[in-house]
Structure 1
Amino acid sequence: MQKDQLLTRRRALLTGAAVVGAAGVTGLLTTGPGTEAARPTTPAAGAQAAGRPLKPSAYRLRPLTGYGPPRTPPGRTPVRSAPLLRVSGRGSTMVLTFDDGPDPRYTPDILDTLATYDVRAMFFVCGEMVSFNKDLLARMSDEGHVVGNHTWSHPLLTRLTRGRIRSEMERTCDIIEKGYGERPQWFRAPYGAWNRAAFQLGAELGMEPLAWTVDTLDWTSPGTRTIVDRVENGAAPGVVVLSHDAGGDRSQSVRALREYLPELLDSGYRVTVPRRHHV
């Protein structure tokens, strides 16, 4: 199946799928150190335009040491009943996540913008897309981004058998390991549709489930300004932002990141990636 057909099929699924609302567990991740970005030369006005300017964070240039849940024994990942929704850490920490890629039309531009500000992000990739774009996965690894498992073909997991869910996860873990250099430690269910099998199998494969706090709904192509406003209005310490770098026309997502990222940094946010606890 060609890439354009895969993307069209995935966009059609997005339109009809019922998104299962994530609820419950919050503040159970810690964020990794990462390198801080330089402030833009021109003060950003977007945060003020959105009516939500924040005072600069005193922790912006300090090393990050987070607080999290009790550590689990080596080699054992807890089986959760709800996905993680937020991150914890000192100061105004946030995490940017991008789903469904990598896509050679949009992912490189997103990586370029992140590199401009020396910011790390999370990419929840589909194995099917990785098979066409292994070079982009290698670039994510080289530039310090975190790669998570978003299944092989982006199906609605609640409609699959346990064996099919395992296959979707395992195949993606394998191809990520080959292209990224290590197996993924994070998993996100397509459409946010989680079930018990997804939590259990994800834990068996050593992955924590991560959802999001702020959904930009960029897949609906609401306009660049709307995406920017949603990120700025939802910005708060611990927030995890959901955007997309594939699955359709993501040019608005690319342009929006160029606007809101420097504005977040100028408002004092520390944009970083989560870190797993290990004994």
Structure 2
Amino acid sequence: MHKHQLLTRRRAFAVGAAAVGAAGAAGLFVTGRGKETASPAAPAAGPRAARRPLKPSAYRLQPLTGYGPPPSVPGLPPVRRAPLLRVSGRGRTMVLTFDDGPDPRYTPDILDTLAKYDVRAMFFVCGEMVAANRDLLARMADEGHVVGNHTWSHPLLTRLRRSRIRVEMERTSDIVEAAYGERPEWFRAPYGAWNRAAFQLGAELGMEPLAWTVDTLDWTSPGARTIAARVQNGAAPGVVVLSHDAGGERSQSVRALRDYLPELLDSGYHVTVPRRQPA
């Protein structure tokens, strides 16, 4: 299957699959050493919603995780019951993340903007995209960005057997290591659809789970100005922003980054990549 067909299929599936974890569900904020507080419900999408600030949202993260955590393995990240939803807020720190790439049509422009402002970001990549664009991961490594695991083909993990989830994750970690130079230390479930197997297998592969608190909804093509406004209105210490550099037409995301990044920096935010937090 050609790359553009893969991208089209994946994004079309996302429209239906997002409802699996959405439905107005509340997630969990993980702060400090695992303290949990209820997150606010997400605002509805649409023209009116685009004109008002998005509250930090975990609407795709209704926990499919109502299990006691299994034993941790020495030397590997602990198995968490929910993904990390924010990082240290010291110094007005924010994290920018980009999913589904790398895509040669958009990822280089995003990297150019980040380089212009000397900012590091996180890229949660799909193995099938890395296979055709290894040079972009080499550039990410050279420029200090963090590359995370977003599975090989972007499936809905909650519909897969455990053995298939392992293949999706492990195969991606292997190709990231070959192209980037290191195995990924962070994992994000496609569509934010987490389950017990994803947390367990991620930990077994040496990865921490990371979600987001501000969703730009850029995959709905709301316009670059709306995307930028959602980031600016959602800015706060410890916020993790979700955007995309692949999976569809992403020129709006490219233009939005050019607008909001200098604004964040001028406002005193330190945009950087996270470090692992203790459980």
Cα distance in 2 for partners of 1:240, 1:99 equals 13
In structure 2, runs of 5+ residues without a counterpart are 34-51, 54-71
2:250 corresponds to 1:250: yes
CA contact (8 A) 1:214 1:231 kept: yes
CA deviation map 1:117-137 (0-9, x unaligned): 000000000000000000000
Q: 1:109 to 1:128 in 2, by over 3 A?
A: same
Cα distance in 1 for partners of 2:127, 2:249 equals 19
CA deviation map 1:160-182 (0-9, x unaligned): 00000000000000000000001
What displacement does 1:269 show? Answer: 0.3
Q: Determine helix, strand or coil for the equivalent of 1:81.
A: coil
CA contact (8 A) 1:19 1:192 kept: no
Q: What is the match of residue 270 of structure 1?
A: 270
Give the partner amino acid of 1:195: N
What displacement does 1:24 show? Answer: 2.2
2:213 corresponds to 1:209: no
CA contact (8 A) 1:22 1:192 kept: no
What displacement does 1:275 show? Answer: 1.1
Cα distance in 2 for partners of 1:218, 1:193 equals 18
Give the partner amino acid of 2:149: N
Cα distance in 2 for partners of 1:223, 1:268 equals 25
Describe how 1:112-261 pairs up with structure 2 within 5 A: 112-261=112-261
CA contact (8 A) 1:23 1:83 kept: no
Normalising by structure 2, we get a TM-score of 0.82
Q: What is the match of residue 59 of structure 1?
A: none
What displacement does 1:26 show? Answer: 1.9
Q: 1:19 to 1:268 in 2, by over 3 A?
A: farther
Q: Percent identity?
A: 82
Cα distance in 2 for partners of 1:158, 1:276 equals 25
2:21 corresponds to 1:23: no
Q: What is the match of residue 64 of structure 1?
A: none
Q: What is the match of residue 11 of structure 1?
A: 11
Give the partner amino acid of 1:199: F
Q: Determine helix, strand or coil for the equivalent of 1:164.
A: helix
What displacement does 1:22 show? Answer: 6.9
Cα distance in 2 for partners of 1:113, 1:270 equals 16
Q: 1:277 to 1:216 in 2, by over 3 A?
A: closer
What displacement does 1:25 show? Answer: 4.1
**Larger deviation, residues 73-82 vs 122-131:** 73-82
What displacement does 1:28 show? Answer: 4.5
What displacement does 1:74 show? Answer: 5.5
Give the partner amino acid of 1:186: W
CA contact (8 A) 1:214 1:241 kept: yes
Q: 1:89 to 1:25 in 2, by over 3 A?
A: same
Ranges of 4+ aligned residues in structure 1 off by more than 3 Å: none
Give the partner amino acid of 1:26: V
Q: 1:13 to 1:28 in 2, by over 3 A?
A: farther
Cα distance in 2 for partners of 1:177, 1:91 equals 31
Which has the higher relative contact order, 1 or 2, with Cα contacts under 8 A spaced 6 or more apart? Answer: 1
Give the partner amino acid of 1:23: G
